[in-house]
Each structure stands twice: as C-alpha cells, then as structure tokens.
Amino acid sequence: MHLLKYLLLPFAWLYNLITRLRNYLYDIGHKKSFQFDTIVISVGNLNVGGSGKTPMVEYLIRLLCSQYKVATLSRGYGRKTKGFRIAKDDDTALTLGDEPYQIFRKFKERIVVAVGEDRALAIPTILNECPEVQVILMDDAFQHRAVVPQFSILVTDYNKPFYKDFLMPFGRLREARDGAARADVVVMTKCADLNSDTENLIRQKLENQAGSKPVFFSRLKYNSPLGIDHAQSISNDIVLVSALANNSSFAHAIAKDFKVHHHVRFPDHHVYSISDIIAIHQKAEDCKADSILTTEKDMVKLIVPALVNEVSKKKWFYVPIEANFIKNGAEFDIMIKELIEENLAKPASAIEKPEALS
C-alpha cells in the first residue's frame, strides 16, 4: 500500500501547478478579489479538515460578541440547501450544515450566523440584511481568495502539522506549504504539554513557512458531558461515536476519563440515518455499555426531527469543547481587538464591492 501511494505523486505535482497558478492569478489581480470596509477575519488551514477551525471561531465569538456585533460566515458544508441563508430558529444541521448549526445553537441570541458558497456575494448580503454587523468571521476561508480579509488566522493541528504534510492526493494539503505566508498569525491547535525546546523547534518550523509571522499555541478543553434531551448522569462504561476528519484526539481525550468499550467511527460530516442509530444502540447493548457519548458536532445532527425519537431510546451524551491558548493568549486577544478598533476608527472607503444577493 505504501508503494502504491507513490503512484499518486504525479497527480500531486499537477495539483501543485494548478493551485500555484490560481494563487498567482489572484496575486497579480487577474482574478478579482474584494475587500470590505466591515472587518473580516478569516480562519482557515492548509490541510483538508480536522485542524480545529470551528473551536477557533467559537473562541473569537466569545472574545468579541459582548463588545461588537459579530456574524459568522461559512460555506455550510454538508447541508441540504444551497445559496445564501441566515440562520433562523427553524433551521437544523440539514439546512445550515453541522458546524454552522452548532455555532447557532450556542450563540444565536448574540450573533448572526450565515452560510453561502460565494463569500464575496454573501458578505454584502449580510450587511444589507443586518447593517449593525461590525465583524464577520469567515470559517474555512484560507483558500477563498475572492475575499481579502483584514486579518487571516491559519490553524494547524499539533498532531498533523502542515509542514510535515504533502499536497493532495499524495497527502492532505490543499495548497503548497509556502501558502502559509498569506496568514497574519499561525495557531497550532490541539497541543499536548510543550516544553520550551519543543515549542521553540515548532515555532521555528512554522515561522520558516509563514514568513516569521506570530505563532501561538492552543489546546482543546473537553467540558463535562451533557445529555441529549435528558438530564441523566453518564456512566463510566460507554460506546463512543464520532464523525470527524481526525477521530484520534477526541478518542484519546475521552479514554482518560471513561471506559470505552467500542468506538463507532464515521466519515467527517456524516449524515446519520435511522439505521445508523439502531446499529449503534445494538452495539451498546452487545458491549453492555450504559451510555453513548459523541461530539458536539455530531449531536446537532442527531437532534433533527427524523432521528430524535430513535435517539431518545438510549442515554446519549455529547462533549462541549473550547479552544484555550496555552500561553500568550492575552497577546492574541489584544492583537485582535486592536485590529478591530483601528478599522472601526477609519472612515468608510470607496472599496469596490459586489452587489448583495437579491
């Protein structure tokens, strides 16, 4: 299998040429980019999936929403709808996508959540429908060159850093490593405990690729499990269920506190069916596990009307997570808030903008 993988190298070289040409056309202005007076902060990665983008967006929401009117914008991957959409109370993970709906459930009283494939058209539409919005957080938008953000945050997974990866399909990179130079800061996510030597070595590797941009380190905080539609206590014996691009970090963290009898893994953004739930329940019975534990991202897909009655037949729980900086978090917070204040103080310019969606 290892030798067969090398047959993919020519396709990776071709992919490299295509992505470099695309970036070059944006760099010289041949492909059109738009910048907006409203502050746009992009969160993205170089790898395909699983780098901790959504926890970083949620961190920014918590940092900013008490002081500014914030909106989030993402493509809405995996949703059954198309086009631009602002989240409302009757939406679900099927109409918004799992990660936007997760954000909407947490923060809907405090922010605007929007989805749209074309970000350059979605942003003026947000501002037309919600003119009070001051900051737009674009999720998974590092390769979306049609919008030029005021600030770009590149995240990379401690367990799978982009500087050790290769271009698709040989590896998991969406573009070459030197694309990191477009970022304003790099945040290494899902970190283990770091000693100073390891931190300095990683920092040097990241700075070499990103042009000496500031580097920060964060970890995921796994909060106490919450019941899905019930208030019962979780038992120690569990079946674990996840549909993530990278299941290993989640599984490792849960195994520290629970006896995991079985881990049911699905592909990232998996849409659950009744037959999936029945099979999971049967596995829990076979393992004599009293509780079923899943991720917050999966939970929002399990509470859709078509599934909730079947899910309620067993004790399901989910784990809320948060991103926290290991150190220098205050420096990161100040950097973001100073950026916003500086931009809010500027007079509105005549930057060319695409028309809002009708």
Residue boundaries of the structural domains of the chain: 2-221+324-345, 226-319
Residues 80-104: b if buried by 16+ CB within 10 A, e if exposed? eeeebbbbeeebbbbbbbbbbbbbb
| Over residues 223-240, mean pLDDT | 92
| Structure confidence at residue 62 as a pLDDT band (50, 70, 90) | very high
CATH class of 2-221+324-345: alpha beta
Q: Do domains 2-221+324-345 and 226-319 have the same CATH topology?
A: yes
The CA–CA distances, whole Å, from 322 to 54, 59, 68, 198, 230 equal 9, 7, 20, 24, 22
Q: Which residue has the tokens 């950097």?
A: 335
What was the pLDDT predicted at 212? Answer: 85
| Over residues 167-190, mean pLDDT | 95
What was the pLDDT predicted at 350? Answer: 43
Question: How many other CB atoms are there within 10 angstroms of residue 247's CB atom?
Answer: 17
- Per-residue pLDDT of 296-342, as tens digits, reads 999 999 999 999 999 999 999 999 999 999 989 999 999 999 999 99
| Over residues 255-262, mean pLDDT | 96
| Over residues 287-294, mean pLDDT | 96
For the chain, report the end-to-end CA distance as a whole number of angstroms: 51
Task: With 0.85 as the threshold, say if the pTM is over it.
Answer: yes
SS3 content of the chain, % helix, strand, coil (to 5): 40, 20, 40
| Over residues 241-245, mean pLDDT | 93
**CATH level 3 topology of 226-319:** Rossmann fold (3.40.50)
| Structure confidence at residue 247 as a pLDDT band (50, 70, 90) | confident
The beta-strand segments (E) located in the chain are 39-44, 70-74, 85-86, 111-115, 135-139, 151-157, 185-189, 215-222, 226-227, 237-243, 259-266, 291-295, 316-319, 321-325
